[in-house]
Structure 1
Amino acid sequence: MTAPAPSLELDDRPRTLKRELGLPALIAYGLTSMGVLSVVSVYGPATQISDGHLPAAYVAAIVIMLFTAHSYGRMAAHVPITGGAYAYVTRGFGPATGFLTGWVMLLDYLFLPMVNFLLFGLYFNSLFTSVPSWVGTLLCILVVTVFSIIGVNWIKRMNSVVIVASVLVIVAFLVLAVMNAPHVDVAAIAKPLSLGDGGLLPILAAAAIVAFAFLGFDGVATLSEETKDPRRKVPKGIVLATLFAGLGYLAFAIAGSLIAPDWTKLQNLDAAGTELMQHAGGDVLMVIFVIVNTAGIVLCGTAAQMSVSRVLFAMGRDGILPPVLARLHRRFRTPYVAALLVSAIALVALFITLDQAVYMINFGALIAFAMVNLATIKVLFFDMRLRRGWGLVRHLLMPIVGFVSIAWLWTSLAPFTYVLGGTWLAIGVVIYLVRRKRNGGPLALQIDDASTEAMPTLQYQD
């Protein structure tokens, strides 16, 4: 019998990056990854679904997401590999399950740019009411396509400026909303935090859509090699970033319910942010918000477009998709040809609504979150036998609660989501079986620089 390979201590691994980041930097990165203004993008649809009880939906989402964030943190501490859900699921259940998890996650990559394009069209229409929103959506697709192809080195610097401006806009809104609200008392604050006439189901249905605002907290795990004492600080960074973002979203939702207590009077729910800003700070705050938000949408859309184009290009090069992208790359000597394919796919945004795009993103994201909870149980509780002390709670009971709650949210998605998502998953199964037969072995799907060739584990005392 071959002796098991010794566990690889983190400090013994080859270092390529300096360990300079502390806990505050990790939290800041997590908050940035989730997006400062993402709460605004889903405010209208989620308020409608919850029947005016959006703060209650955020409370539910925060609790549910914290359990999943805990599972990500535990895996980041004990299994320091990049790739997020795809890599963790592969580590726990093998390449087939990992591939299908990664394949479903691609829905996030494909639909995330569409959310930005749709939002741009809505806010463009709010500034130029005579121009249909689809014109703004198409304009944003064209601009982002050009940026994705030619490359824009100033995006990182502009991102920092937009993030600071976004924070200032949100803070101004919170202050002005409280100052100018018709009624600010315990009853006005407590009402949207309570269950409405529909009970818990509308709250959970809205929580399923606001889960979109939490996407990105797992990005903290990718900074493990640049963090001081990552085994302890990275898990804390993931959980605290999720908690702080959730509290910020909750504060915005409460302020929105104060400044616009009757949500049915909002004229355009998909672009509710402009009306909320106008109610709170007049035309000046509204215009500033639209300018900052549209700039952020273009930058975010460009980053998402470039990311998904590279994923599709890598898949074509590695034989997971038809290798037409690789042939185009060899002929034109540019990897950005895939960006044109992404733009063609993004034209679907002209025929769908904002909430439909968010639902499709959450279809893949919630499956990934659920699988990470299961992988935590499989790897840490069963494989590594981390059961002493709080191990039973942290590596079994909490992931079980996380899995059940995420599964519950997943069942609250719109019916069409399961049809399209199920079709996408079936295509993934066919691709996996065909390519596996041709390759004569398991098929890998590389996402976010994930590497499953060597998957070390860390043994240390919590």
Structure 2
Amino acid sequence: MSTDAAPTVPVLRRSLKLWHLILYGIIIIQPTAPMSIYGVVSNAARGHVVTTILIAMVAMLLTAVSYGRMARVYPSAGSAYTYVAQELHPLAGYIVGWSMLMDYMLNPIICAVWCSVAAQGMLPQIPYAAWVLAFVLVFTGLNLLGVQASARVNALLAAGMGIVVAVFLAFAFHYIATVLHPVGWAWLAPFYDPVTFSVSRIFHGTSIAVLTYIGFDGISTMSEEVENPRRNIMLGTVFTCVAIGLLSAVEVYAAQLAWPAGWHFPPALVDTAFVHVGLRVGGRFLFFLLNLTLLVANMGSGIAAQFGAARLLYGMGRDNALPKRIFGVISPRTGIPRNNVLLLGGATLAGALLLSYERGAELLNFGAFIAFMCVNIAALVHYRFRSKEKVRLAVTIPLLGFLICGFIWLHLTRDAQVLGAGWIAIGLILYFAMHRRRKSRR
């Protein structure tokens, strides 16, 4: 008699180790993360870029612990929206999700701005608006085709960026040692310069510098594929923040030492300040190498962010959080949420023509910090009041994370806070309108 075994349902294999998670996190965030925002942060913090990077790292480490702890509770979700909706209130979860949508929409905008400024720096005869249109068409066109970079390509790009970082550091420290010859206190000036130091300016700069770490929470999405997720998700998130923070601090430390005459970059240079530091220490070779590297990095980030935003809009439309007939539709021919991609393409074009890189980055961080603060509170509520599992510093870590993130959030510019609050208000109007419509249909 035959005894045929029942077919098994394929499941995700827990094959990833801790070092896989750390590598994945570094790939998401990118080794060149602080280079694009260097000039903006330098102007905001009066040259104390290293200090802002390290303060932001402390805030992100505390928040990373909260993300790691919540990934234990919801190992398949990996979403701030889920954590907050389940632990606090569905409306709070919606506000976090709406804030995340703003992040997704702004990311391709600031990437298009940076790419256009960098490309115009290499080919100034072509107008800025033409570059914006070209990059937005590339972002949108590739997403309409459903093109995504594979994990292997991302790993190769990250390795290439790591090599470029090493090349820059070699040129920078050679220039510093052979041309500038700093002595004594000059070596510590990037951390603290009494002439330009200002606490309020430091935290204003930190509110932008945190963009360096955006993406670390993506590690929580690997919960179903990692060995011992209850331990390794948190460690992977924390170690990724430390690795990116220390590497970023070294990069901007070298840049600040190499540009000691003045921390303020004029408007024409502010968005691409780091590549002009490269021009000083390594000539045209390093200038073009950094430009090309950051161009590729920002293009990849812009395409990926637009891809994610289209899927987030589709999910909200499918769940009737947004009009389903517009946002919850998939093209039968390509299997792509075409309406969303086209709408995002139009929004990216308009935003890149209207917003500066600094304003876009601040608005992006407005939404990110709302998510970070709410995840910290969700972790506090769960492990202090609901969970039987005991964890160390169940109140202290998330409370400090919330307070530091809140303090940095308050140091965003008034314009960013007003525009961000306006975005939240629009989201709430949509939420209550959809809720009222559903009640009237019952």
Relative to the length of structure 1, the TM-score reads: 0.87
Give runs of aligned pairs for residues 11-50 of structure 1, distance below 5 A: 16-50=11-45
In structure 1, distance between residues paired with 2:340 and 2:55: 39
In structure 2, distance between residues paired with 1:167 and 1:427: 41
Match status 1:291 vs 2:292: yes
Number of the residue aligned with 1:457 = none
**Any gaps of 5 or more consecutive residues in structure 1?**
1-13, 442-462
**Cα deviation per residue 1:71-91 (whole Å; 9 max; x = unaligned)?**
112222344241421111112
Structure 2 counterpart of 1:356, from 336, 341, 359: 359
Give runs of aligned pairs for residues 308-323 of structure 1, distance below 5 A: 308-323=309-324
Number of the residue aligned with 1:72 = 67
Give runs of aligned pairs for residues 364-383 of structure 1, distance below 5 A: 364-383=367-386
2:15 aligns to what SS in structure 1?
A: coil
Question: What is the Cα deviation at residue 414 of structure 1?
Answer: 1.1
Number of the residue aligned with 2:5 = none
Structure-2 change in CA distance of 1:299 and 1:199 (3 Å): closer
Determine what percentage of the aligned residue pairs are the same residue: 29
Number of the residue aligned with 1:338 = 340
Number of the residue aligned with 1:161 = 156
Q: Contact 1:220–1:237 at 8 Å: present in 2 too?
A: yes
Q: Contact 2:207–2:409 at 8 Å: present in 1 too?
A: yes
Counterpart code for 1:340:
L
Number of the residue aligned with 2:6 = none
**Cα deviation per residue 1:47-67 (whole Å; 9 max; x = unaligned)?**
011111111111211112111
In structure 2, distance between residues paired with 1:301 and 1:206: 23
Give runs of aligned pairs for residues 98-177 of structure 1, distance below 5 A: 98-152=93-147, 156-177=151-172
Q: Contact 1:88–1:375 at 8 Å: present in 2 too?
A: yes
Aligned length: 424
Structure 2 counterpart of 1:191, from 157, 180, 189: 189
Counterpart code for 1:378:
V
2:189 aligns to what SS in structure 1?
A: helix
Q: Contact 2:78–2:223 at 8 Å: present in 1 too?
A: no
Number of the residue aligned with 2:222 = 223
Q: Contact 1:195–1:203 at 8 Å: present in 2 too?
A: no
Number of the residue aligned with 1:263 = 263
Question: What is the Cα deviation at residue 159 of structure 1?
Answer: 3.0
Question: What is the Cα deviation at residue 188 of structure 1?
Answer: 2.4
In structure 2, distance between residues paired with 1:64 and 1:186: 30
Q: Contact 2:35–2:274 at 8 Å: present in 1 too?
A: yes
Question: What is the Cα deviation at residue 183 of structure 1?
Answer: 2.9
**Cα deviation per residue 1:259-293 (whole Å; 9 max; x = unaligned)?**
11123366601111220111222111111221222
**Cα deviation per residue 1:388-435 (whole Å; 9 max; x = unaligned)?**
xx63x2x10111111100000000101111221111111221222222
Q: Contact 1:126–1:274 at 8 Å: present in 2 too?
A: no
Number of the residue aligned with 1:180 = 175
In structure 2, distance between residues paired with 1:327 and 1:408: 37
Q: Contact 1:183–1:258 at 8 Å: present in 2 too?
A: no
Counterpart code for 1:211:
V
Question: What is the Cα deviation at residue 440 of structure 1?
Answer: 4.4
Question: What is the Cα deviation at residue 116 of structure 1?
Answer: 0.9
Pick which of 429-438 and 226-235 moved more.
429-438
Question: What is the Cα deviation at residue 135 of structure 1?
Answer: 2.3
Counterpart code for 1:264:
H
Counterpart code for 1:424:
W
1:268 aligns to what SS in structure 2?
A: helix
1:275 aligns to what SS in structure 2?
A: helix
Counterpart code for 1:343:
G
Number of the residue aligned with 2:240 = 241
In structure 2, distance between residues paired with 1:59 and 1:154: 31
In structure 2, distance between residues paired with 1:349 and 1:16: 42
1:16 aligns to what SS in structure 2?
A: coil
Pick which of 404-413 and 262-271 moved more.
262-271
Relative to the length of structure 2, the TM-score reads: 0.90
Number of the residue aligned with 1:459 = none
Structure-2 change in CA distance of 1:79 and 1:305 (3 Å): closer
Q: Contact 1:109–1:308 at 8 Å: present in 2 too?
A: yes
